[in-house]
Amino acid sequence: MQNRLLALFMAAAGIASLLAVPSAHAAPGMTTCNPHSYGAKGDGVSKDTAAIQHAIDACAKRGGGTVLLTPGTYLSAPIVLKSNITLKLEKGATLLGSPDFNDYPAITEFRAPGRQSLISAQNASNITIEGAGTINGNGASWWKMAREHKDTGVMGSQYTRPRLIVFNHCKHVVLEGVTVENSPMWQIVPYYSDDVIIRNIHVLAPQHAPNTDAIDPFSSSHVLIEHVVANVGDDDIAIKSGEANSPGPDAPSTYITIRDCIFLHGHGLSVGSEIAGGAQHILAENITMTGTDNGIRVKANRDRGNDVSDLVFKNIQMTNVKNALIISEFYPHIYPPMPDNPAPITRLTPHFHNITVENVTATNSKNAGAIAGLPEAPIRDVVLKNVSIDAQKGMVISNAQVTATHFTVHSEKGPGITRLSGARLILH
């Protein structure tokens, strides 16, 4: 308990220091660069890539400033933000990704083959994307390609797709106010970045658009995600830190707060599955989920795990969620295979421990879920407080140590709680 309280204090202190850092908004008197001055049309037909990039570069040469997209549709190939730049999209302004696959160069991204994202920044600081406009990845043709080829969502696939917004090794990042939608793949990715604020945005994609995760903090720290509405085709949030079979080294994702969010279609709130660097000090609170495939999900497997600890999920309401609570080291499966034989412990063996789920309700779920650890690495110190789940099928616990207070599972079919091998459940 003392360790958990210390972790929560440290997480709160981390967010407080994050909020104390001045945002990347352009200071009074700084330059405003309008892409129209460099030839942008904003007509949705002409490619405005060069004009937008010239505006970014001109502001950067003057020490920073605001690149302003006034109302219009700016068709563009990838653009690159620089330090001390604010990209502001006024209401009625849309940055629209080019439909031409050849406009997205093949690159090595996240240590794997990929394509350059529509918006990126690398080794930059004090970056803001803000406004009431829209960033549209124009992903429909990419989704069609993905459905035609197996495993296109896997890192390293030969059929690569660009993400939409990537902050690569950046510091002091703000993403606020805009609508982000229709990415070819993952939509917003802070990668090895620190001090990131994502607030008051909508992230959208059709329900079956493949791999369109809303926000994926990847090996990043001091991340605040708040007042986000996510309605996408994959994870609403997925905290990651290293791909499957990673040779390492991989940095963890740490001190991440997610609060006051609404998740609609999507695969819910996830830690993992690519978590080879581990994840610690995660707080998710005041979240409403309606119609997501999953609710709370902590997931890994023997080929992509590490230390995952000091996670707190509290004040979460779920309605019509297929799987309410999954803490599983058997991804993509939920339950252990039979027979459940131990395997050797390796660098990539997941170790889940010190996880608290508090004040959580789920109604009309298909499955209550599972807390399922590996026999060689059981899940330790899971605490459930005031958790109520109504589902067609009950909760399965295996190779896990769980302490529960006011924990109820109402199941239409079979027992509310099923204990398999290695389950240690203490009910108060």
Is the CA virtual torsion 24, 30, 31, 34 positive or negative?
positive
Q: Which of 371, 387, 385, 386 is nearest to 424 (CA)?
A: 371
Q: What is the mean pLDDT of residues 33-44?
A: 98
Is 265 part of any domain?
yes
User: Are 329 and 363 contained in the same domain?
Assistant: yes
pLDDT(23) > 60:
no
Is 381 part of any domain?
yes
User: Are 242 and 210 contained in the same domain?
Assistant: no
pLDDT tens digits, one per residue of 127-168: 999 999 999 999 999 999 999 887 666 665 678 999 999 999
pLDDT reported for residue 220: 98
Is 196 part of any domain?
no
Chain position carrying tokens 């019509």? 320
pLDDT reported for residue 15: 38
Which of 120-141 are b and which e, b meaning 16 or more Cβ less than 10 Å from the residue's Cβ? bbeebbbbbbbbebbbbbbbee
The model's pTM is: 0.92
The CA distance from 225 to 115, in Å, is 26
Where residue 171 sits, what CATH number does that domain have? 2.160.20.10
Q: Considering the chain, what percentage of its residues have pLDDT values greater than 70?
A: 92
pLDDT reported for residue 326: 98
User: Are 253 and 295 contained in the same domain?
Assistant: yes
Pairing of strands 106-109, 112-115: antiparallel
pLDDT tens digits, one per residue of 220-273: 999 999 999 999 999 999 999 999 999 999 999 999 999 999 999 999 999 999
Q: What is the pLDDT of the chain when averaged over all its residues?
A: 92
User: Are 278 and 373 contained in the same domain?
Assistant: yes
By the 8 A CB rule, do 94 and 82 touch? no
pLDDT tens digits, one per residue of 307-334: 999 999 999 999 999 999 999 999 999 8
- Indicate the pLDDT class of residue 65, thresholds 50, 70 and 90: very high
User: Are 89 and 39 contained in the same domain?
Assistant: yes
Contacts of 192 (CB under 8 A, 6+ apart): 168, 169, 218, 219, 220, 251
User: Are 48 and 122 contained in the same domain?
Assistant: yes
pLDDT reported for residue 30: 76
User: Are 302 and 423 contained in the same domain?
Assistant: yes
Is 67 part of any domain?
yes
pLDDT reported for residue 272: 96
The CA distance from 294 to 263, in Å, is 10
pLDDT reported for residue 156: 58
The CA distance from 292 to 236, in Å, is 9
What is the number of alpha carbons within 13 Å of residue 125 lying toward its C-beta? 6
User: Are 151 and 255 contained in the same domain?
Assistant: no
Is 222 part of any domain?
no
Q: Domain range for residue 57?
A: 30-185+206-216
Which of 266-279 are b and which e, b meaning 16 or more Cβ less than 10 Å from the residue's Cβ? bbbbbbbbbbbbbb
User: Are 284 and 327 contained in the same domain?
Assistant: yes
Q: What is the mean pLDDT of residues 284-299?
A: 98
Is 113 part of any domain?
yes
Considering its fold, how many domains does the chain have in total? Answer: 2
Give me 369's structure tokens. Answer: 């879920």
